[in-house]
Structure 1
Amino acid sequence: MSRIRIGLGVDFHQLTEGREFWLGGVLVPHHKGALGHSDADVLLHAICDAMLGALSLGDIGVHFPDTDNTYKNIDSKILLARCAQLIGEKGYQVVNVDSTLCLQAPKIKAYVPTMQAVIAEILHISVEDVSVKATTTEKLGFVGREEGVTAHAVVLLEHITQ
């Protein structure tokens, strides 16, 4: 294995009434929330997939299947911590995260610093090494119609030198 590895993660969730809206480990007030087996935190799921993909460890569904009730309504911060543990067991650590949320509403600018802090703490990296951006789709597609939300994440890993 090489000293540095890069991974890309993408996740999508349907939005629905009556669910809490968790993004980046932060509860964001909104009239809709993401539908999923877990808390459906699309951003943390994309970061998990990026981390796992960087080391060819499969994806979040392989490690935390929605057919296993152990993960029913689980806090995705726990899943992110477990992914960090998995890459640590392979001798790697996260260098930085770059991510983008795609959603029409709500505006999340006020929540981004807290998201960065939550992610940085779980991954044991600096807040300056966690980028969380957001964009709309200019009212186009399922995101623009507020039917769903998507997230993209790129993660750089480096081999831990002993």
Structure 2
Amino acid sequence: MTNIRTGMGYDVHQLVEGRDLFLGGVKIDHAKGLLGHSDADVLIHAICDALLGAANMRDIGYHFPDTSDDTLGMDSKVILKQVVALIATKGYQLVNIDATVCAERPKLNPHIPAMQACLANVMGCDADQVSIKATTTEKLGFTGRQEGISAYAVCLVEKVR
């Protein structure tokens, strides 16, 4: 039996006025926020899908449907904590995450250490296990037009029991 597995996640949400912007569990000052059923934290959602995929446990929408009143307005940090507990039921724990957030604005580099610390705290791991990078799409596509933000995440998990 394989003791290590990889997972990949992707998420995208539309930027709209009248919503707070949360990325990696951190509230970022910006004129627009992400539209979604929960707080729409694309980075956390991509990480959740990567973790669930690595453990062969379907996806975030399966466990936290956007049609449920229970998940309406939910803090994505709560979702992430529950996902870490879910993969643990199959004996898996996080080895590392490598994630990329695609956003034209706001500039995310100043916020990355806070995101790493927040995510590590939620997942019960060391911040060094959480790599976050930021990029733009050079003004191309919906991201370049500042209509939305997307995130990609890959993870490695290890079976510990």
Asked if residue 117 in structure 1 is aligned to residue 122 in structure 2, the reply is: no
Asked if residue 129 in structure 1 is aligned to residue 129 in structure 2, the reply is: yes
Q: CA deviation at 1:123?
A: 1.4
Give the unaligned 5+ runs of structure 2.
none
Report the Cα distance in structure 1 between the residues aligned to 2:2 and 2:115, rounded to whole angstroms: 30
Match of 2:45 in 1: 45
Asked if residue 155 in structure 1 is aligned to residue 161 in structure 2, the reply is: no
Q: Is the 8 A contact 1:9 1:48 kept in 2?
A: yes
Once the two structures are superposed, residues 69-93 of structure 1 have per-residue CA deviations (whole angstroms, 9 ceiling, x without a partner) of 1000000000000000001111010
Q: CA deviation at 1:121?
A: 1.2
Q: Is the 8 A contact 1:102 1:134 kept in 2?
A: yes
Report the Cα distance in structure 2 between the residues aligned to 1:122 and 1:30, rounded to whole angstroms: 24
Q: Secondary structure at the match of 1:30?
A: coil
Runs of 4+ residues deviating >2 angstroms? none
Report the Cα distance in structure 1 between the residues aligned to 2:160 and 2:120, rounded to whole angstroms: 18
Report the Cα distance in structure 1 between the residues aligned to 2:76 and 2:106, rounded to whole angstroms: 20
Q: Is the 8 A contact 1:80 1:122 kept in 2?
A: yes
Match of 2:99 in 1: 99
Give the unaligned 5+ runs of structure 1.
none
Letter in 2 for 1:36: G
Report the Cα distance in structure 1 between the residues aligned to 2:101 and 2:32, rounded to whole angstroms: 16
Once the two structures are superposed, residues 13-40 of structure 1 have per-residue CA deviations (whole angstroms, 9 ceiling, x without a partner) of 0000110000000000000100000000
Q: Secondary structure at the match of 1:8?
A: strand
Across the aligned residues of Structure 1 and Structure 2, the Cα RMSD in angstroms comes to 0.7
